[in-house]
C-alpha cells in the first residue's frame, strides 16, 4: 500500500512540477535567428555546421549555413546553380567556380558550355567564399562579316558620290 502511495505521489509531482532539460547542441542552427532574406540553413539537427558565402552569378546568393561535410557541388546545387539564360549556337559559355579564403585562392575550376556543374571539392571550411562567374563569348559569324562589308561599301559609295559632284 505504501508503495502505491509513493508511486501516486511521484506521478502527481511529475505532472505539476516543471523541469528544464538541456540538450547538447553541436551546431549554431539551434541558436540562430535571422530575418535576412539571403541567409539559408541546410543542415540536419545536431550536425556540426559551417558558414559559406556564395556570391556571383548564382540564382540564390548569400550566406549558407551547411553541414561541415558539404561539398562544393552540393553548395552549387543548394544555391540554385549558375544563372544561365538561353544559349545560341554562336555563343560559348564558361562557368568559373572559385573558392577563396583569407589566405587567397584555394580551388578553381572552369566548366565549359553546358557541362553539369559537378565539382568534386570537399574541403570547404568556415568562412569560405564561393564565387561563381558565367562568361559568354560570342564567336565571329557571317552576319558580323556582312555588317563590316556593308559599312565599307556604304563609305565607298559616299566617297564616290562626293568625288563625282
Instruction: Give the pTM.
Output: 0.61
What pLDDT band is residue 100 in, cutting at 50, 70 and 90? very high
The better pLDDT of the pair 62, 9 is held by: 62
Region for 32 from its dihedrals, namely left if φ exceeds 0, alpha if ψ lies in -120 to 50, beta otherwise: beta
In terms of phi and psi (left: phi > 0; alpha: psi -120 to 50; beta: otherwise), the region of 115 is beta
DSSP 26-79: -SSGGG-----TTEEEE--TT--EEEEEEEESBSS-EEEEEETT--HHHHHHHT
In this predicted structure, the answer to whether residue 149 has a pLDDT above a threshold of 70 is: yes
Rg (CA), the chain: 31
* Per-residue model confidence as pLDDT tens digits over 119-133: 677 788 999 999 999
Which of 15-29, 45-59, 80-94 ranks highest by mean pLDDT? 45-59
* Percentage, residues of the chain above pLDDT 70: 73
> Which residues share a beta bridge with 130?
54, 99
How does the average pLDDT of the chain come out, rounded? Answer: 79
User: Going by C-beta distance under 8 Å and a sequence separation of 6 or more, which residues neighbour residue 89?
Assistant: none
- pLDDT given for residue 145 in this prediction: 84
Distance CA 64, CA 141 (A): 42
Per-residue pLDDT tens for 33-82? 554 567 887 888 888 999 999 999 999 999 999 998 888 888 988 998 88
Output the pLDDT for position 23. 45
What is the reported pLDDT for 5? 75
- Angle (CA) 4-7-9 rounded to 5° is 110
Nearest 5°: phi and psi at 130? -105, 120
Alpha carbons 139 and 142: distance in angstroms, whole number: 10
Amino acid at each position: 500500500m505504501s508503495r502505491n502511495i509513493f508511486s501516486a505521489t511521484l506521478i502527481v509531482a511529475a505532472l505539476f512540477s516543471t523541469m528544464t532539460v538541456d540538450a547538447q547542441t553541436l551546431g549554431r542552427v539551434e541558436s540562430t535567428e535571422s530575418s535576412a532574406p539571403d541567409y539559408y540553413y541546410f543542415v540536419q539537427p545536431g550536425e556540426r555546421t559551417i558558414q559559406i558565402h556564395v556570391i556571383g552569378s548564382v540564382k540564390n546568393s548569400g550566406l549558407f549555413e551547411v553541414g561541415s561535410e558539404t561539398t562544393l557541388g552540393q553548395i552549387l546545387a543548394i544555391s540554385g546553380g549558375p544563372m544561365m539564360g538561353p544559349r545560341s549556337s554562336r555563343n560559348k559559355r564558361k562557368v568559373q567556380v572559385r573558392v577563396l579564403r583569407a589566405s587567397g585562392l584555394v580551388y578553381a575550376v572552369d566548366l565549359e558550355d553546358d557541362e553539369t556543374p559537378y565539382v568534386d571539392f570537399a574541403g570547404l571550411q568556415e568562412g569560405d567564399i564561393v564565387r561563381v562567374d558565367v562568361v559568354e563569348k560570342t564567336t565571329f559569324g557571317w552576319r558580323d562579316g556582312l555588317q563590316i562589308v556593308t559599312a565599307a561599301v556604304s563609305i565607298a559609295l559616299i566617297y564616290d558620290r562626293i568625288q563625282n559632284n
